[in-house]
Every structure is written in C-alpha cells, then in structure tokens.
Amino acid sequence: MTSPFRQNPVFRFAPSPNGPLHLGHALSAFLNHDMAVAQGGLFLLRIEDIDLMRCTPAFEQGIYQDLRWLGLTWEEPVRRQSEHFFEYRAALDRFIDMGLVYPAFMSRGEIKAFVSEYESAGQSWPRDPDGAPLYPPLDKERDPQEVKALLASGAKHAWRLNMERALAQLSDPLVWLELGQGSETSIEADPAAWGDVVLSRSDAPSSYHLSVVIDDALQGVTKVVRGLDLFHATSMHRLLQALLDLPVPEYHHHRLILGPDGRKLSKSEGSTGLTVLRDAGCTPSDVRRFVGL
Ligand code: GLU
C-alpha cells in the first residue's frame, strides 16, 4: 500500500562490502544522490552485509572512502544489515506461522545432480531469471515427521518460500511503477519465475530478497534506483511486500556500465575500481564523465 501522505522522496544506495566499488556502483550512487538532491529528498546509504563470509570491514571502509571521494554525503547512521538479523528472523517467523516457507535441505551439489539427472532424459529443467535452476520439489513433498526429525538432528537447511502457496494468497495481480524507461510504466510482476526462493540461507539468518524488502520498508524508502540487473528481482520483492503488507516504493532500474567484453562489471575488474582510478590521478568529474553523466 502506498502512503496516502505526501512525503519527501527517500533514496538509497545499498552496496555489499564484498569487493571494491567500481564504475557501475558510481553510476548508481550518483543517480540516487543527484535525484535526492534535485527532488529535495533524502539519500541513504545501506551496507548489505548479510554474507558474513564474503563481506569484510576493509571493503566497508573502502565504500565510505570511495563515496566521500566522489563528493557524496548521506544520512547517518548508516544501516548495516548484519546488525538487524533479528528483524529478518521475525519476518521469517511470520512466514513460518503462515505456512508459506519450508526447510530446504538440498546442497548446491545435490541440486546440480538432480538437474543433470532430469536433463539427461532430454528435457531441460526450468531456470530462474538469473539462470539458476529452480529448486526441486523434493523437500516440499517430505513427510512432516521426517522434516521434524531432520530439524531435530540439526541438519543444515535454508528456508524457502513455497511459491505456489504464496501466489495463492494474492487477490490482485502484482505490479510496480517503473520510472527507468523514459515514461512511467506499470510493470506486471512475475514472481513465479523465481520458484521457491531462499528467504533465509543456511549460512546467514536472512537472504538478499528478504532483507532488502524489510529494510526498504523500515527505512521509508520511496524510490529504489538500482541497476537493470535487478529488474527481475523486483517481481520477487513485490511478492514479499504483498505477503508482509509492506509499503511499495517506486522503482527506477538504470542502464548498466559494461566492461570491454560487453558484460556487466564485476568486483574483481581492477581497471574500473574507484580506488584504482583515484590512485591513477582521476578526479570525481572524470568518474562522472566515464559513467556518462
Ligand atoms: N546489495 C545489492 C548489490 O550490491 C544491491 C541491492 C539493491 O539495490 O536492491 O548489488
């Protein structure tokens, strides 16, 4: 539900500290910051560090340094997701109570083996918009007593959304307002394309999809400006917002900065790293120019 009260827009840039920022991040940060300034809104910075294995304090410090160098300022305090696991857990508990999630015990290797066995018969197994195979239905079909015993034995598991049941909760089609296509466009969400997504990982008490919708709501974010690589994720976010009765921001998915190979930049791509550019003598205005602003 959108708030009936007019409010100043709230933007956020939400990097994960699992590598150095590159030109793609700079574009996202500039766009969010510049729109916030132009619209008299707030610019928030959120550190998405639920992956405790890959995120490091050094990368987090690098984010602050790079953004400061670019001349950006943001609201304090910065929200760090690793300090809010209990909030994500509370949302997961709601899903457990609603019977919309189930413990998923298959490892990556087991999923892969299931898919290759299925595909060896000549038919392809469905993939999600990121190209990952949809989760096999085996855990959903387990006997409840067996599930109980597995949980009691401490078997490693994630919590996955039961997509079929989740969709059955909806009375209206899910849409979002997309501002990144020149004019305002209403986009129909297709969460089913994601299958039974993980809401709580086996190695972290949340997931990207769950924590991002909780945080956007808790922080009062009204405009989500992020790369087109997350366009399809918005379908999932709309579903979670509907199930948890959260407010719905407007979305603006912006163009991506591509590397020389025509692919989206990755954090290991040294030559486009902001720190590397700074050390090579580039200025923040050079960076604006490099990202086409
Ligand atoms: N943390 C995500 C990333 O680094 C961005 C999430 C978002 O903007 O929704 O790609």
User: Which atom of ligand 1 lies closest to the CA of 16?
Assistant: 4
Residue-wise pLDDT for 20-46, tens only, equals 999 999 999 999 999 999 999 999 999
Q: Is the CB of 230 under 6 A from ligand 1?
A: yes
Residue-wise pLDDT for 218-232, tens only, equals 999 999 999 999 999
Determine the Cα–Cα distance for residues 244 and 238; give it in Å rounded to an integer: 10
Q: Is the CB of 14 under 6 A from ligand 1?
A: yes
Q: Is the CB of 15 under 6 A from ligand 1?
A: yes
Determine the distance separating the centroid of ligand 1 and the alpha carbon of 87, expressed in angstroms.
19
Determine the Cα–Cα distance for residues 159 and 52; give it in Å rounded to an integer: 18
Specify the residue with its C-alpha closest to ligand 1, atom 2. Answer: 15
User: Which atom of ligand 1 lies closest to the CA of 48?
Assistant: 1
Q: Is the CB of 28 under 6 A from ligand 1?
A: no
The domains of the chain, with CATH numbers, are 7-83+257-293 (3.40.50.620), 102-209+225-251 (3.90.800)
Determine the distance separating the centroid of ligand 1 and the alpha carbon of 125, expressed in angstroms.
28
**3 state DSSP class of 43:** strand
* Residues 141-176: b if buried by 16+ CB within 10 A, e if exposed: ebeeeebeebeeeeeebbbbbbbeebeeeeeeebeb
pLDDT of residue 271: 66
pLDDT of residue 93: 97
173 Cβ contact partners less than 8 Å away, ≥ 6 residues apart: 188, 189
Determine the distance separating the centroid of ligand 1 and the alpha carbon of 22, expressed in angstroms.
13
pLDDT of residue 262: 75
pLDDT of residue 268: 64
* pLDDT in single tens digits along all 293 residues of the chain: 455 556 799 999 999 999 999 999 999 999 999 999 999 999 999 999 999 999 999 999 999 999 999 999 999 999 999 999 999 999 999 999 999 999 999 999 999 999 999 999 999 999 999 999 999 999 999 999 999 999 999 999 999 999 999 999 999 999 999 999 989 999 999 999 999 999 999 988 899 999 999 999 999 999 999 999 999 999 999 999 999 999 999 999 999 998 777 777 776 666 689 999 999 999 999 999 999 99
User: Which atom of ligand 1 lies closest to the CA of 28?
Assistant: 8
